[in-house]
Amino acid sequence: MVEKNSENEDSARWVLACELRRLREASGRSLAQLAEETNYDRTYLHRLETGERLSKLPVMEALDAVYGTGGLLVRLWRLARLDAFKSKYRLFMQYEAKATILHSYAISVPGLLQTEDFARVVLSSSPTPIAPDALEEAVAARLGRQELLQRDRPPSIRIILDEAALRRPAPDPAIWHAQLVRIAEAAELPHMAIQVLPFTAGVHSLMGGSLSLLWMADGSAVAHLEGNKSGELLEEPDEIARYRLSYDRLRDAALPPSDSAEFIRQLVEDSSP
């Protein structure tokens, strides 16, 4: 079993690791057999069972299928992935997972639209070196947020992308091209609207960072402001209304979705190898 201690005994991540080990042993499978069935590395599967690594959604879906657990592991994974985020950001993640409407303005490619390779580039760009395992953990946590896009009833999403987000490429042209393709594809999703805020729109009230506005099924709302090194969750109705007004003005200044899609398609074409 996973080694239990006072720091992890109550965490969803520890519960998931224990359940993965229990299910495999109850099924009579060895790690080698499970690796052969799922096409995932034996060492990687072992590290999931010890809680050393956080998996990605496809891994949990594959294991749910193997064990016939009807989505239990995916549900545990949704809780466990929150452990990878700092406490101040974790509450926003919980709101995001429940939101029925999500509006955001981003000065860089948002995590919901990032490819795995581009996320890895962004997360490894810190001046402080990051260990390989910690990097992969952060990548898995970031990609885990995209699970809400694949639900049967995903939230209604509108993203205003600052032109700067589309003009700051990854060092590897192939990674950047794939990232632009991902954004172009997302713009075609029925529940997604993407608008580009061109440089010609000039100065505006949200230039200091990114903004997310979330609405829940019960009509309640929160706002999240994010700078380069900080984030702030706002729950007061008056503050949310003020930032919603700023967002609405920015939406009016941005290119319409159809023109934005054409703008992004041109960037895809220009970035083709």
Q: How high is the pLDDT of residue 131? A: 86
Read off the tokens for 13. Answer: 């991540």
Geometric angle at alpha carbon 75, from 122 and 26, rounded to 5°? 115
In sign, the C-alpha dihedral spanning 145, 68, 23, 39 is negative
pLDDT grade for 127, boundaries at 50, 70 and 90: confident
How would you class 31 by CB atoms within 10 Å of its CB: exposed for 0-12, middle for 13-18, buried for 19 or more? middle
Q: Which class is domain 90-271?
A: alpha beta
Min mean pLDDT across 5-9, 68-72, 147-151, 191-195 is at 5-9
The more confidently predicted of residues 2 and 125 is 125
pLDDT digit string, tens, across residues 101-125: 999 999 999 999 999 999 999 999 8
Residue 267 host element (H or E): helix 257-271
CB within 8 A of 193, min separation 6: which ones? 157, 158, 159, 187, 257
12-82: CATH superfamily: lambda repressor-like DNA-binding domains (1.10.260.40)
Annotated domain spans of the chain: 12-82, 90-271
Please give the structure tokens belonging to residue 73: 């592991």
Amino acid at 240: I
Place of tokens 């406490």: 87
77-81, 92-96, 242-246: range with highest mean pLDDT: 242-246
State the pLDDT at residue 179: 97
Please give the DSSP secondary-structure letter assigned to residue 2: P
